[in-house]
Amino acid sequence: MDRYCVFGNPIAHSKSPEIHTAFAAQTGQELAYERCLAPLDGFVDAVRTFIAQGGKGANVTVPFKLEAVKLAQALTIRARAAGAVNTLVFSDDGIIGDNTDGAGLVADIVNNAGVPITGKRVLLLGAGGAVRGVVLPILEHRPARLVIANRTVAKAEELVEQFAALGGQGVVSACGFDGIEGDYDIIVNGTAASLSAELPPISPSVFAPGALALDMMYGASPTVFLQFAGQHGAQLRDGLGMLVEQAAEAFQLWRGVQPATADVLHHLRSRL
């Protein structure tokens, strides 16, 4: 039976085995998917051991997504753009690194929430790895504008410079939280503020009528950001859909089959 796993440290909390086991049952694929706790200083050795034992592919989570870039012998365009790898494909040609996070976010917005990105005004809050991974997939849907707002403006400006050459010329711009102007159709919180139950310092005026507010974090109850957005009329989504959709993208890469996500997402939601 083909083996897959997710590498991380810590890893016991990961929902990936549950998600991929459900995808396999749904699509009739014979595979085993497990959690792999890699030592903080032993990620590369852990991956090579897994390959030697017959592993076919792996997901990568915190804190190894940057190390996975160096380990990969080839990177997809979106992995190169993200500067991080969350999916490894072990092939005859070696280790291929990909990043499915941005595709997962876009699929959740467009397919699950039913909100098109094309022609819309999009605001990304934060400029760290989580945001970096979603810029290119959003740009591929041709938004009217994409603004990256961050506490440290220079970090956001670095992203703008990088992505201007990848279809963002004249579309993507940067500012500080206090420099956000106008309102937006889609607002994505990619900061770590929700981990400490804090709110990014944004004005309620950023939410256009009927706007979609999405927080990359998820939990049993809405984050502080989503509560704030809801008070100002936004429709709300947390990061659980993104998690399931990025997994579906990885599953398709490994198995050549696109799983349906709705039932899996519903099941996970019921167990939060």
Tokens, residue 10: 């810590």
Same domain, 183 and 234: yes
- Mean pLDDT, to the nearest integer, of 204-223? 96
**Annotated binding-site residue numbers for shikimate:** 14-16, 61, 86, 101, 218, 246
CATH number, domain with residue 122: 3.40.50.720
- Mean pLDDT, to the nearest integer, of 179-200? 94
Percent of the chain residues topping a pLDDT of 70: 100
Domain, as residue range, for 78: 2-99+242-270
Same domain, 251 and 142: no
Give the strands of the sheet with 207-215, arranged side by side.
172-175, 145-149, 121-125, 184-189, 207-215, 235-237
Same domain, 112 and 183: yes
**Annotated binding-site residue numbers for NADP(+):** 126-130, 150-155, 216, 239
Rounded CA-CA distance 56/33 in Å is 10
Which residues are part of the catalytic machinery? 65
Confidence label for 86 from pLDDT (cuts 50, 70 and 90): very high
pLDDT at 165: 83
Mean pLDDT of the chain: 96
Per the structure, how many domains does the chain have? 2
Give the global pTM.
Answer: 0.96
CATH number, domain with residue 266: 3.40.50.10860
Same domain, 138 and 86: no
